[in-house]
Structure 1
C-alpha cells in the first residue's frame, strides 16, 4: 500500500533465513500451538506442540530458535488467562496486565538479553502518508459498515460480548475494544510478524502470524464464520505494515474498524439504539 519504505531492522543483512525450508516446520508448529491454545482451548496439546516447535528450531537454527522463543513466551503469557470478552473491572485489570506483559516481556528479552532491535514500535516514521494510504482509511469504515453488522447479528457472535446499557458499561466496552485493537498490532504485527520476517519471506511470515491472530480473536469472540473476516484482516494488517513500516498507520486502520465493531455490538444488543446499519 503506497510506496515501500526503508527500515534498517528488516534489511537482508539482518535476516537469518533457515537453511532450505526446514525452518518453516517449527514456525508452523508455533502457529498451530496458538490454534490449539486459543482456538480449540486445548492447553496441554498446545504446550506440547509449542515445546516440540522450540526443540526442532533449536536443532535446525539457533537464530530461529531465539526468535520463536520470544513468540512462545508471549503466547504462554496470554494463555494464562481467558481472553473471552468480559468488561468487569477485575477482569479488565487482569487482562490488561497480562496482555501488556505479553508484549513487554518479549521486547525486554530481545532488547536486553539478545541485545538486538528486532522488536520495534515505529510510531513516528518521518514519512507522510500517501494518497492511497489516506484513501484507505474511509474505505475501512465503509467496509466495516457493510460487513460487520451482517456478521455479528446473523451469526449471533455479538452474544459473545456483554450487553451494555448504562454509561459506565458502554465506556468500558469502548475502552476494552480499543485497547485490544491497539494490543493486536503491538503483539501480532510488531512482535510476531516482525520476528518471523527475519527468517521467512513476507508472505510466509504473514500467513503464520494471521493464524495466531485469528486464533486469539476466535477465543475473544469472533466465532461462527468470524475467521472468514479475521484471517483476511490479519493478512491485510501484516501487508500494510510491511509496506508502510508504520505502527501509527496500522493502529489507525484497526481503531477505525473497531469503532464500527463497538457501534455494532451496542446496536445488536439494543436494536432500537444506533439504528443506522444495513443488514
Structure 2
C-alpha cells in the first residue's frame, strides 16, 4: 500500500477512536468560517490534534517517523496537517475583494494552506500522504463527459435563481469595468482550483487514510461548505454547496484524477462568474432566465 493510498475499506471503520479527532478538526471549520469565532476555532483545532495524539499513543502508532523506515500512517500527523491548513486560512479575511492587496492576501493565505501541509508531509514526515494526481485515471469515460455538460446545464438553471433571488451576489464586489470583470474571472477560477487542492487532495485524502470513504467525504464537505460560507455562499447556499462538495469527493475517488474534478469545478465557476457579472450589470449578460 502506498503512502497516498488508504487502508482497505474493511479496516477503516467509522466508529473508532479516530472519528473523534477527525470530526473535531472538521467541526472547527464552522466555528472559524461560519460563526467566525476564530479563537474558539483554534481551541477546537488544538483539542483535535491533542486527541489524535492520544489515539496514536493508545494504538502504539509512532507519531514521529523513525529514520530510514517507511512511515506508518499516523492520525496525529494527518489531523495536524488538516488543522494547520485551516489555521493558515483563518489568518486572513475571506471576504471577496478584487484589489491588489486582496489578491496578495488570498495568494499567501490559501497558498500557504496547501503548500505547508504538502511540504511537511513529503519532506518532514516523509510519508507523501498528499499528492496532486493531475494525470490520474486515464482517458475520460462517456459519463465523465456527460457530467461536464450536466454541470453547465444545472449551473445555468440553478445558480442565477440562487444568487439573484437571495441577494448573495452582493457579497461580491460590483464589477462594472473590464478590469474588474477580468479580476473577478481570475479570482473565481483561482479559488476554485484551490478548493480541490485543499479540500479534496489534502483534507479528504488525509482523513480517508483512517476512516471509510463516505465518512471522510462527509467530514471534508463540512470544511468545504464552511469556507464557502464565509467566502459568500450564504443564505440557502449550503443546499447547493453540500451536494457539490460530496460529489467532488466521490468523483475524485471514482476517477483518481485531479484534472477532472478541477475541470468540473471550473465549469461550475464559469457559470458563477457569468451570473455575478449579470447580477451586477443587468442586461449585459442576457443568457440567464433570472
Using the size of structure 2 for normalisation, the TM-score is: 0.91
Equivalent in 238, 242, 249 of residue 238 of structure 1: 249
Q: Match for residue 35 of structure 1?
A: 30
1:103-142 to 2 correspondences below 5 Å: 103-125=114-136, 127-142=138-153
Equivalent in 183, 186, 197 of residue 172 of structure 1: 183
1:144-155 to 2 correspondences below 5 Å: 144-155=155-166
Quickly say closer, same or farther: Cα 1:10–1:50, change in 2 above 3 A.
same
Equivalent in 21, 36, 42 of residue 47 of structure 1: 42
Q: Match for residue 16 of structure 2?
A: 21
Equivalent in 246, 255, 263 of residue 266 of structure 2: 255
| CA–CA distance in structure 1, aligned partners of residues 83 and 9 of structure 2 | 21
Please state if 1:220 is matched with 2:215.
Answer: no
Question: What do the CA deviations read for 1:201-237 (whole angstroms, capped 9, x no partner)?
Answer: 1000000000000000000000000011111100000
Secondary structure in 1 matching 2:4: helix
| CA–CA distance in structure 2, aligned partners of residues 153 and 20 of structure 1 | 42
Shift in Å, 1:33:
0.6
Structure 1, unpaired ranges of 5+ = 1-5
Structure 2, unpaired ranges of 5+ = 57-62, 64-73
Q: Match for residue 3 of structure 1?
A: none
Please state if 1:181 is matched with 2:176.
Answer: no
| CA–CA distance in structure 2, aligned partners of residues 49 and 269 of structure 1 | 38
Compare relative contact order (CA 8 Å, sep 6+) and give the higher one, 1 or 2: 1
| CA–CA distance in structure 1, aligned partners of residues 15 and 251 of structure 2 | 27
Please state if 1:211 is matched with 2:244.
Answer: no
Richer in helix (by share):
1
| CA–CA distance in structure 1, aligned partners of residues 162 and 137 of structure 2 | 38
Equivalent in 71, 92, 99 of residue 88 of structure 1: 99
Quickly say closer, same or farther: Cα 1:108–1:16, change in 2 above 3 A.
farther
| CA–CA distance in structure 2, aligned partners of residues 160 and 11 of structure 1 | 38
Shift in Å, 1:125:
2.2
Quickly say closer, same or farther: Cα 1:165–1:20, change in 2 above 3 A.
closer
Shift in Å, 1:16:
8.1
The answer to whether the Cα contact below 8 Å between 1:81 and 1:95 also exists between their aligned partners in 2 is: yes
The answer to whether the Cα contact below 8 Å between 1:18 and 1:64 also exists between their aligned partners in 2 is: no
Equivalent in 255, 258, 280 of residue 269 of structure 1: 280
Shift in Å, 1:15:
11
- Alignment RMSD (CA, Å): 1.9
Shift in Å, 1:98:
1.4
The answer to whether the Cα contact below 8 Å between 2:30 and 2:222 also exists between their aligned partners in 1 is: yes
| CA–CA distance in structure 2, aligned partners of residues 71 and 127 of structure 1 | 29
